Amino acid sequence: MNKEAVQITTKSRLSSEERQGEIIRVAVELAAEKGVDSVTTQDMAAAMHLTQGAIFRHFATKDDIWVAVIEWIRERLMKILDKAAANATDPLDAIERMFLAHIAFISKHPAIPRLLFSELLHKKNSKLHQLIQGIISGYEAKITGLLEAGKAQFMVPADLDTKSAAVLYIGMIQGLVMQSSIFGGKRSLQQQAEKTFPIYLYGIKEITSVV
């Protein structure tokens, strides 16, 4: 933070690459504060003490900024999830570690679920839609794969519908996010997450019959 602050105050002109990174950072920050679709290019410029027109030196359109933001999220999220899964002892442990890592990531950047589930980004821009769809489906496939691996190790019943279990997994994250979003930071997201996950875990472990 110190380093960046010094850079900002001393160095008035940044390279386009540096500036693009800062625009992304500011966009994420503002999206967390006031919602994705109410962030204007003027807001971004003001947040980094720049004129609004300067934004368009580095991005052709505003949509391009959101594309870059989503790509930034994808890279960071995937790296964090892979890192969390790498330390796991078994598939179910991997799922739990990924879950907690994801929750921690969201706690740091509250705008992320807002961005991924924003209707604005889904409806208007098809590239954004495809990008987000890719992230979600890739995530889902990762969970499904771990659950199938769990089946192979007899940690999870063979008749578990892994696809549905993955949907429930992602829904659990969404539910927790909405919970903390609506009711403020009263109850910490992480605390609630740790209490909710065991219920999910028992759901996928103790199933004994197909419906």
CA 111/CA 60 separation, integer angstroms: 23
User: CA 210 → CA 32, 160, 180, 207, distances in Å?
Assistant: 41, 8, 34, 8
Name the binder of 56 from DNA, a copy of itself, none, CB < 5-8 A by kind: DNA
Apex CA 84: angle with CA 80 and CA 89, to 5°?
A: 165
CA dihedral 65, 109, 125, 131 (to 10 degrees): 100
The residue range among 28-36, 48-56, 85-93, 97-105 that interacts with a copy of itself, by the rule CB under 8 A, is: 28-36
Q: CB atoms < 10 A from the CB of 149, how many?
A: 17
Q: x/- site string to a copy of itself, residues 63 to 102, per CB under 8 A?
A: ----------------------------------------
Find the helix or strand (DSSP H, E) in which 136 lies.
helix 126-152
Looking at the Cβ atoms of 41 and 162, the one nearer to DNA is 41
Task: Return residues touching DNA (CB under 7 A).
Answer: 11-16, 19, 38-42, 45, 49-54, 56-58, 60-63
Residue the block writes with tokens 């204007």: 40
Q: Are 77 and 28 spatial neighbours (Cβ–Cβ below 8 Å)? A: no
User: Is the CB of 22 or the CB of 96 nearer to a copy of itself?
Assistant: 96
Residue 190 binding: pick among DNA, a copy of itself, none (C-beta 5-8 Å cut-off by kind) = none
Q: How far is the CB of 182 from a copy of itself (least distance, A)?
A: 5
The 122-141 site mask, x for binding a copy of itself (CB under 8 A), equals: xxx-------xx--xx----
**Residue 124 binds which of a copy of itself, DNA, none (CB < 5-8 A, kind-dependent):** a copy of itself
- Minimum distance, C-beta of residue 100 to DNA, in the bound complex (Å): 35
What is the spatial distance between Cα 65 and Cα 190, in angstroms, rounded to a whole number? 30
Instruction: Report residue 146 as tokens.
Output: 């771990």
Task: Point out which residues bind a copy of itself (CB under 8 A).
Answer: 34-38, 114, 117-120, 122-124, 132-133, 136-137, 160-161, 163-165, 167-176, 178-179, 181-183, 192, 194-196, 198-208, 210-211
